[in-house]
């Protein structure tokens, strides 16, 4: 078989973009999803092509099922059979205590961070499961160290969505293990990306160094290396793992 086909949600910047680059080096063709910044996604696609692999940009809002379904159809048509999924698209909201969180905020958080990952996994399994004529594959979900620490006073809604991703990873890994599909999660600590601007607390990140035993932020590339390893045959007996990439935190 030639190169395998990988879909990365939220692949236009940050951890998703770094994963696309590392995955291409490891031999994957890559479908790069994003919601709005098509120019950024296209430059990631160019990097994948420069590494000698195929790339396609597949825009969709992961929080909307109809767009997500169209995205998978787009990948089918452009790349062919799917062998890997990295469920990476995720958001934080502005820092707030629970007293200030409304239903609209919570619905958006669950739709993108939680339902988006579950529905992407569903579509990937429909294509990869050996019970459905597929050849198997690997799913990596982006959780967060926040799932363990709760992020009180900042974004408890976000940490709850990631704790649910941990639970989903554990259960789904067992559900599809006999169908050739491995399911794992990576739990990054505080990584130097643009996501922190979304909480309105980018400066708080710099002030969080004392919480990290290694006393530095992680890089997107350091997370990407763990994701690509979990996708690879080197991790052939690894499923249901929650891998902390968090500087010892
Ligand atoms: P980022 O730099 O903010 O990038 C987020 C990516 O997701 C972008 O490509 C963005 O594309 C896309 N995206 C956002 N909402 C989307 C939606 N509704 N539909 C489709 N794409 C969407 O984030 P990051 O820091 O790389 O984080 C990636 C993942 O790692 C997230 O799941 C995050 O929760 C997790 N994580 C990050 C950290 C950290 O410290 N950075 C720590 C732990 C876990 P557009 O720009 O086009 O919207």
When the pLDDT of each residue in the chain is averaged and rounded to a whole number, the result is 96
pLDDT at 200 (0 to 100): 74
* Strand order across the beta sheet in which 5-8 lies: 55-57, 29-32, 5-8, 84-87, 137-142, 181-188, 242-245
Instruction: State pLDDT tens for residues 79-130.
Output: 999 999 999 999 999 999 999 999 999 999 999 999 999 999 999 999 999 9
pLDDT band for position 208 (cuts 50, 70, 90): confident
pLDDT of residue 90: 98
Q: List Cβ neighbours of 190 (8 Å cut-off, separation of 6 or more).
A: 145, 205, 208, 211, 212, 217, 218, 246, 247, 249
Contact 29, 6 (CB under 8 A): yes
Please report, for the domain that includes residue 190, its CATH number. Answer: 3.40.50.720
CA 153 – CA 7 distance, rounded (Å): 34
Nearest to 193 by CA among 218, 215, 212: 218
Element (H, E) at 201: none
User: If you measure from the C-alpha of residue 34 to the centroid of ligand 1, how many angstroms do you get, rounded to a whole number?
Assistant: 9
Task: Write the residue with the smallest CA distance to atom 11 of ligand 1.
Answer: 34
- Among this protein's residues, is 158 annotated catalytic? yes
Check pLDDT > 60 for residue 156. Answer: yes
> Is the CB of residue 4 below 6 angstroms from any atom belonging to ligand 1?
no
Q: Is pLDDT at 198 greater than 90 in this prediction? A: no
pLDDT tens sequence across 21-71: 999 999 999 999 999 999 999 999 999 999 999 999 999 999 999 999 999
| pLDDT exceeds cutoff 60 at 1 | no
Q: Which two tokens stand for residue 37?
A: 């910044």
The answer to whether 34 touches 56, Cβ cutoff 8 Å, is no
Number of domains observed in the structure of the chain: 1
For the chain, helix, strand, coil in percent to 5 are: 50, 15, 35
Ligand 1 midpoint to CA 162 (Å): 13
Ligand 1 atom showing the smallest separation from residue 36 Cα:
47
Look at residue 205 and tell me whether its pLDDT is greater than 90. Answer: no
Structural domain of 235: 5-245
Q: With bands split at pLDDT 50, 70 and 90, how would you rate the model's confidence at 202?
A: confident
The Cα 21–Cα 147 span in angstroms is: 27
């Amino acid at each position: 078989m030639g190169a395998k086909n990988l879909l990365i949600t939220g692949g236009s910047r940050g951890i998703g973009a770094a994963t696309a680059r590392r995955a291409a080096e490891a031999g994957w063709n890559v479908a790069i999803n994003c919601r709005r910044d098509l120019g950024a996604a296209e430059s990631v696609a160019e990097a994948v092509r420069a590494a000698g692999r195929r790339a396609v940009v597949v825009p969709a809002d992961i929080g909307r099922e109809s767009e997500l379904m169209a995205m998978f159809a787009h990948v089918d048509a452009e790349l062919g059979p799917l062998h890997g999924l990295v469920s990476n698209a995720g958001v934080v909201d502005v820092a707030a205590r629970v007293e200030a969180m409304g239903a609209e905020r919570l619905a958006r958080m669950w739709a993108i961070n939680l339902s988006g990952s579950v529905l992407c996994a569903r579509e990937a399994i429909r294509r990869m499961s050996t019970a459905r004529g597929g050849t198997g594959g690997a799913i990596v979900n982006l959780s967060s160290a926040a799932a363990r620490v709760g992020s009180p006073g900042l974004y408890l809604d976000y940490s709850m969505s990631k704790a649910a991703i941990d639970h989903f990873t554990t259960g789904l890994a067992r559900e599809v293990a006999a169908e050739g599909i491995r399911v794992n999660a990576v739990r990054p600590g505080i990584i130097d990306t643009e996501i922190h601007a979304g909480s309105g607390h980018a400066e708080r990140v710099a002030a969080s160094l004392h919480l990290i035993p290694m006393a530095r932020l992680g890089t997107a590339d350091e997370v990407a290396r763990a994701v690509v390893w979990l996708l690879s045959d080197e991790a052939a007996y690894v499923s249901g793992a929650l891998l902390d990439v968090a500087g010892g935190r």
